[in-house]
Structure 1
Amino acid sequence: MCTPCCISQLACCCGTAACSCCCNCCPKIKQSTGTRFMYAFYFLLVTTICVIMMSPTVEQGMRDNIPFYSELCERLNAGENCKTLVGYSAVYKVCFGMACFFLFFFLFTLRINNSTGCRAAIHNGFWLLKFVVLVACCAGGFFLPEENTFLEVWRYIGASGGFIFLLIQLMMLVEFAHRWNTNWSSGVKYNRMWYAALAFVTLLLFTVAVGAVVFMGVYYTHPEACLLNKIFLGTNASLCLIVSLLAISPCIQKLQPTSGLLQPGVISVYVMYLTFSAFSSKPKEIVQIDGVNTTVCVFPIKSGLENDKTIVTAIGATILFGCVIYSCLTSTTRRSSAALRVCRNSEPETERARCCFCFGDDRDDYDEETTGSGQNVLYDEREATIYNYAYFHFVFFLGSLYVMMTVTNWFHYDGHKIEKLLEGSWSVFWIKMVSCWICLILYMWTLFAPMVCPKRFEA
């Protein structure tokens, strides 16, 4: 059982065979999905290394537990106690290498329309060799000349690319909300249980959004301080209410019969999350209460033990990386690319209501490789590519820049550490607050677009 699996994994790492799990009880996997998950695994691996580099706790733990740590650092020419391998400059260099890796594959895979060519085979296989190239790119960043000039220029390139990725992420959220509603609505005509599922999820989403408004109103406002929090919380909550009413207004319903409350529910929850994250990222405010300087408008758990702060930071980091990986994977499908006008999708898709609809249909109408010792692989790109290879790598290139800027706290990198991911910074506050408004504007545009450009939306 083990030998055939090892041979297949070796063929996947050093050849063009599709990678799969060794357990044959795993569900079937498409070749295109497996490829994207392998690139996502590389991305997540480097991102984890960047988080470790920004953590003084991990640095101290390595110093205490690794024998001959100082001598090892000297042999690696990594400076005293490996100082060159930690901090924001090290993260910039590692992310520079990862960005170069994905940028190279973006250029390498331009104009690939089928999976039978040599370039497509390299994209879908040779994972061990590509891992070696990725490691070499990340290590090469530490040997760049003119370090100060490089860091200054790369910082602004990273900010520009990170902002573009943030726009793509917001556009994908809007597209996800519309597709979710369309997919589940298509099942109502066949089974009324889908209508109950729609109603339940919509009610749950608005309950979470309203609960978030109440929570932030209690803990993030104060009678004598936090004026910006009061203004922006009221503004964002009002805008969410407005888009919800617009979604079910007669003029919108006439042009978009599938428009409902599920989409504004998704948007409202995400906007409230961004608002909460922005408030948490704002520098602390101190007011005098009964002659005592008191910090106000902070997350209540922050006033507790240091372990509580670690838990909050871990949750924030998990949400961040989950959003990044989801955006990278889903924004590269044909349907999502068509939504971003990256490629045209001339053939309309027939919706089939499913609980999990994010990564395409699950119909098994592809050539299947049956293995007795491992997971079966569906070769879904025999005739043409399922997604745009070049655009896929370009999104990961932008994602590398976004992670680099987020982990290093954007422009407030001096003295920053990953344990302070949710602590104050005006740049992060404004980036997240502006993201709320962009998300709402994008969703409002999808509601009014059929009225402004009717010919582009004719069936």
Structure 2
Amino acid sequence: MGAVLGLCSAAQLACCCGSAACSLCCSACPSCANSTSTRLMYAVMLLLVMIAACVTLAPGLHDEMKKVPFCKNSTHYIPGDLKVDCDQAVGYLAVYRICFAACLFFVLMALITIGVKSSKDPRAGIQNGFWGIKYLLVIGGIIGAFFIPEGQFASTWMVFGMIGGFGFIVIQLILIIDFAHSWAERWVSNYEESQSRTWYAALLLAMLTCYALAITGVVLLYVYYTKSSGCDLSKFFISFNLILVVLASGISILPSVQEHQPRSGLLQSAVVSLYVMYLTWSALSNADKACNGITGGSNESSFDKQSIIGLVIWVCSVLYSSIRTASSSSKITMSDHILAKDGNGEGADGGEAGRGEEAKVFDNEGDGVAYSWTFFHVVFALATLYIMMTLTNWYNPSSQLSKENVASMWIKITSSWLCVGLYVWTLVAPAVFPDREFN
């Protein structure tokens, strides 16, 4: 499946070069829905922005910039008056400028696509095409952002980043919990319909695996992030989160909860428990270095193994949350719109954009959009702000990816508590409000 989607994205990238390249590439790849390939293309754009921001924080880059002849503080001489302050091209201010341009792009796309009901709208071409122009626009915006005077830019933009980043955290937690419920309900439904022991074994194995990983995580956190004397705050975070996930697991199997949600069970709780332990580990990574048994309190590079593992998991989580927003927008905005045509050609207008044999990227939004385009871009704008704040350690900005930072620690640990709170609410809400319908 990943290979198919990757080929679809490559096909749309080729369309940037012209119709000839598009026809040649599309003839060699499997067909996929236009709504799917479009979301993947925007995800690729967000990933490239994320990579560019990480590069500006690479250790040693500041010293390497001194070797560039046209930099003001360069150790190499070049005749002429053209000198550039290369210090602004690295560090957390560079991340602020890169994400500023990307965020404005997604906000612009959100404004352009307001009120679009189907791909027959003239603005649909802007959403699903012109990729070359879009990438050039983002690149030009990033270059232009480096000419913004420093002044109050960083402090002002940080406030916007904190608000938007927190908004994305809430959306991300909702999607993680929704993923846990959807996964469990789908497998339980398959078991109830088939009465197959295979599905029962799969449910049991998935639950036990998630719980085993979560328990292993708790043990490792105690071993590497606490000491026999001291590190009381780290001990409290680990113990308190362990108590929270145990309580949440107990609530999920209460008779009153099972009465209103028969398919609610321990699989959802196991997934949530595992994610909460990940958030706890991520928070303790930014705690007091004296309590970090992995780095041993040393002043290591910001790209150590611990940071790379956390960064990879974080990137996957951000991209999943950003793309998943399209199909879960109805659950977040409480609207009646549901993604029902994302994977097939049903509902296409049957014309040139339909399911013709030669159309490899077919239009499945002729009768109605498969997701809210405006909300999709709003979430991508929030994701950009979340990336910016996470890379720069929130309200205590730094040019290193990994270091002792109280701000990041409290943001992440608060997110873990909020995750458990939201999950418990999804369990008890149907029992508290029996007259309301919860999907």
Query: What is the TM-score when the length of structure 2 is the normalising length?
Result: 0.86
Cα deviation, residue 411, structure 1: 2.1
Secondary structure at 2:333 match in 1: coil
Report what 1:100 is aligned to: 104
Q: 8 Å contact 2:36–2:343 — kept in the other structure?
A: no
Partner in structure 1 of residue 5 of structure 2: none
Question: Is contact 1:54–1:86 with CA below 8 Å preserved after alignment?
Answer: yes
SS in 2 for 1:118: coil
Letter in 2 for 1:437: W
**d(CA) in 1 for partners of 2:58 and 2:13?**
35
Query: Does residue 316 of structure 2 align to residue 316 of structure 1?
Result: no
Aligned to 1:292: none
Letter in 2 for 1:49: A
Identify the residue that residue 256 of structure 2 maps to in structure 1. Answer: 251
Hey, what does 1:214 align to over in structure 2? 219
Residue 383 of structure 1, CA deviation:
1.4
Q: For 1:215 and 1:305, how far apart are their aligned partners in 2?
A: 22
* 1:290 corresponding residue in structure 2: none
Tell me the amino acid that sits aligned with residue 103 of structure 1.
V
1:37-74 CA-partner distances (Å, limit 9, x unpaired):
1111111111111111112334445656x787757898
Alignment partner, residue 355 of structure 1: none
Conserved? CA contact 1:96–1:141, under 8 Å? yes
Work out which structure has the larger RCO, using CA pairs closer than 8 Å and 6 or more positions apart in sequence.
1
Number of positions where the alignment pairs a residue of Structure 1 with one of Structure 2 = 418
Equivalent pair of 1:18/1:31 in contact (CA under 8 Å): no
Say if 1:88 and 1:369 are closer, same or farther in 2 by CA, change over 3 A: farther
* Structure 2 gap segments, 5+ residues each: 1-7, 349-353
Task: Determine which of 327, 336, 343 is the counterpart of 1:344.
Answer: 336
Kindly provide the CA deviation profile for residues 423-454 of structure 1, in whole angstroms up to 9, marking residues without a partner as x.
21001111011001100000000001101222
* CA shift for structure 1 position 238: 0.8
Q: Corresponding residue for 2:319? A: 325
The residue correspondences of 1:109-148 to structure 2 (distance < 5 A) are 109-145=113-149, 147-148=150-151
Question: What is residue 186 of structure 2 aligned with on the other side?
Answer: 183
1:78 matched residue in structure 2: 84
* Deviation (angstroms), 1:32: 0.6
Moved more, 301-310 or 200-209: 301-310
Q: Distance in 2 between matches of 1:201 and 1:62?
A: 49
> What is the CA-CA distance between 1:219 and the residue it aligns to?
2.1
Q: In structure 2, what residue type is equivalent to 1:368?
A: R
Any conservation in 2 of the 1:11–1:17 contact (CA below 8 Å)? no
SS in structure 1 at match of 2:50: helix
The letter of the residue matching 1:180 is W
Aligned CA distance change for structure 1 residues 401 and 20 (closer, same or farther; 3 Å): farther
Q: 1:417 aligns with which of 400, 417, 428?
A: 400
Partner Cα distance (2:342, 2:154) in 1: 44
Q: Which of 328, 344, 368 is matched with 1:384 structurally?
A: 368
1:19/1:34 contact within 8 Å kept: no
CA contact (8 A) 1:20 1:376 kept: no
Query: RMSD across aligned C-alpha pairs, in angstroms?
Result: 3.1
Q: Which amino acid aligns with 1:390?
A: T
**Counterpart for residue 289 of structure 1:** none
Distance 1:18 1:201, change over 3 A: farther
Distance 1:17 1:443 in 2: 50
Q: Indicate the residue corresponding to 1:354 in structure 2.
A: none
Work out whether residues 218 and 238 of structure 2, in 8 Å CA contact, stay in contact via their aligned partners in 1: yes
1:4-403 residue pairs with structure 2 within 5 A? Answer: 12-13=15-16, 22=25, 26-61=29-64, 70=74, 77-79=83-85, 82-145=86-149, 147-188=150-191, 189-190=193-194, 191-285=196-290, 297-300=291-294, 310-333=304-327, 336-345=328-337, 362=343, 365=346, 367-371=354-358, 376-403=360-387
Deviation (angstroms), 1:167: 0.7
In structure 2, distance between residues paired with 1:207 and 1:17: 53
Q: What secondary structure does 1:300 align onto?
A: coil
Provide closer, same or farther for how the CA distance between residues 340 and 221 of structure 1 changes in structure 2, counting only shifts above 3 A: same
What SS does the aligned partner of 2:123 have? helix
2:424 counterpart of 1:444: yes
Change (3 A) 1:424 1:301: closer
Deviations 1:337-384 (A, max 9, x none): 12112532479x8xxxxxxxxxx875564643544xxx9323221211
Deviation at 1:280, TM superposition (A): 1.2
Runs of 5+ consecutive residues of structure 1 not aligned to the other structure? 286-296, 350-359
Q: What's 1:291 paired with?
A: none
Q: Distance in 2 between matches of 1:432 and 1:125?
A: 37
In structure 2, relative to structure 1, the CA distance for the partners of 1:10 and 1:184 (3 Å cut) is closer
The match for 2:415 is 435
Answer yes or no: is the 8 Å Cα contact 1:47–1:403 preserved in 2: yes
Change (3 A) 1:192 1:123: same
Contact 2:345–2:364 under 8 Å retained in 1: no
1:78 maps to amino acid? V
Distance across 1 between alignment mates of 2:78 and 2:325 = 43
Instruction: Write out per-residue CA displacement over residues 51-106 of structure 1, whole angstroms, 9 at most, x where no aligned residue.
Output: 11112334445656x78775789887531xx2121111121111111111011111
Q: CA deviation at 1:149?
A: 1.3
Given residue 155 of structure 1, which amino acid in structure 2 is its aligned partner? M
